[in-house]
Amino acid sequence: MSDTVSDVSLSPAEPLSAPVLLAEARERVDALLGAWAERIQTIVPGRTGEALAYALNTPGKRVRPALVIAAYRSMGGMSPAIAAVAAAIETVHTYSLVHDDLPCMDDDDLRRGRPTTHRAFDVPTATRVGFLLVPVAGLVLSQAAQDLCLPPPVLGRMAGELFQAGGIEGMVGGQWLDLEAERNQLDLQGLIAVHRGKTGALIRAACVLGGMAAEAPPDAVAALRRYGEEIGLAFQIADDVLDVTATSAQLGKTAGRDAQLEKSTYVSVLGVQQARAEAAAHAAQAITNLEQAGIPSGSLGALAQYIVSRES
């Protein structure tokens, strides 16, 4: 089997390599987000609609969508409509990036290889765009549930999981702790508290929503949640390492920003080599959590390994 999207016509239990999963997620989610960008401009007029479309069309690795798809298939899901759930997750992620880049946050000019939304437009417009992307994610998720023929109670649970991850108990709360920690040295437990929310919450939700979309039993969803919690921390640790070892061209965003903002990171606390070992340990525990629950770890395991070994 070659690593191309066109070759993907496999049973849900057959594991795919991380490059294949990511290529499929990019192709399907990018197409959906592009369609939603066009639709949103007919709903939200003028500059704000243009900025919403700009944000939605921002390219990316699509790790979170790939996790949605892999978790869904690990539970026996087969419908290609799962890509719409992945698009909803990516929409919430996009909102977080738009706000994270604002001058009052990380004040960054570059995201995924192009100007951040507030640089391409302006700060007030980007601020509105971030807020508006949340209800857009709700629209995308609702359409996904309809396409998957999911009953309303399942949609309700999925929406609760998604918006909790994007709110004060997830990304917003983690971002708040992150800002409070600038120019203060956190210990390892303090870092974990920040990143279980800021980065980990949406990665966890991606795994959980994949299971919920397949109408998996509660114990299986709980195992996917535990996997997601571990892989979310692994993802952030890998990001911290890349911030000091990769270039801006590799990252598609400004390298070295953590040091410029005097942020505590896994690298500042542990050093590069120990941070890499910590990421690998979290990835290994994520896979163990699946195996202990009897969940096929092939594709999700491949993504776990990709997350800690990636170079961008």
Domain presence at residue 2 = no
3-class state of residue 186 by DSSP: coil
Q: What is the mean pLDDT of residues 170-174?
A: 84
At residue 85, the pLDDT reads 98
Domain presence at residue 4 = no
| 107 vs 2, more confident | 107
Residue matched to tokens 């066109």: 6
Q: What is the pLDDT of residues 10-39, one digit of tens each?
A: 344 567 899 999 999 999 999 999 999 999
Q: Which domain holds residue 87?
A: 16-309
The band of 6, judged by pLDDT with boundaries at 50, 70 and 90, is very low
Mean of all residue pLDDT scores within the chain: 89
3-class state of residue 110 by DSSP: strand
Domain presence at residue 1 = no
The pairing of beta strand 110-111 with beta strand 114-115: antiparallel
Q: What is the pLDDT of residues 245-292, one digit of tens each?
A: 866 676 666 666 666 767 788 998 899 999 999 999 999 999 999 999
Domain presence at residue 211 = yes
Domain presence at residue 136 = yes
* CA 115/CA 36 separation, integer angstroms: 21
- Residue ranges of the alpha helices (H) in the chain? 18-43, 46-56, 63-74, 82-100, 117-120, 123-147, 152-165, 171-181, 188-198, 200-213, 218-245, 248-251, 257-260, 266-270, 272-292, 298-309
Percent of the chain with pLDDT over 90: 69
Domain presence at residue 7 = no
- What is the tally of structural domains in the chain? 1
Domain presence at residue 51 = yes
Domain presence at residue 58 = yes
The band of 235, judged by pLDDT with boundaries at 50, 70 and 90, is very high
| 311 vs 125, more confident | 125
For residue 169, what is the domain's CATH number?
1.10.600.10
At residue 1, the pLDDT reads 27
**DSSP string across 119-185:** HHS-HHHHHHHHHHHHHHHHHHHHHHHHHTT--HHHHHHHHHHHHHHTSTTTHHHHHHHHHHHTTS-
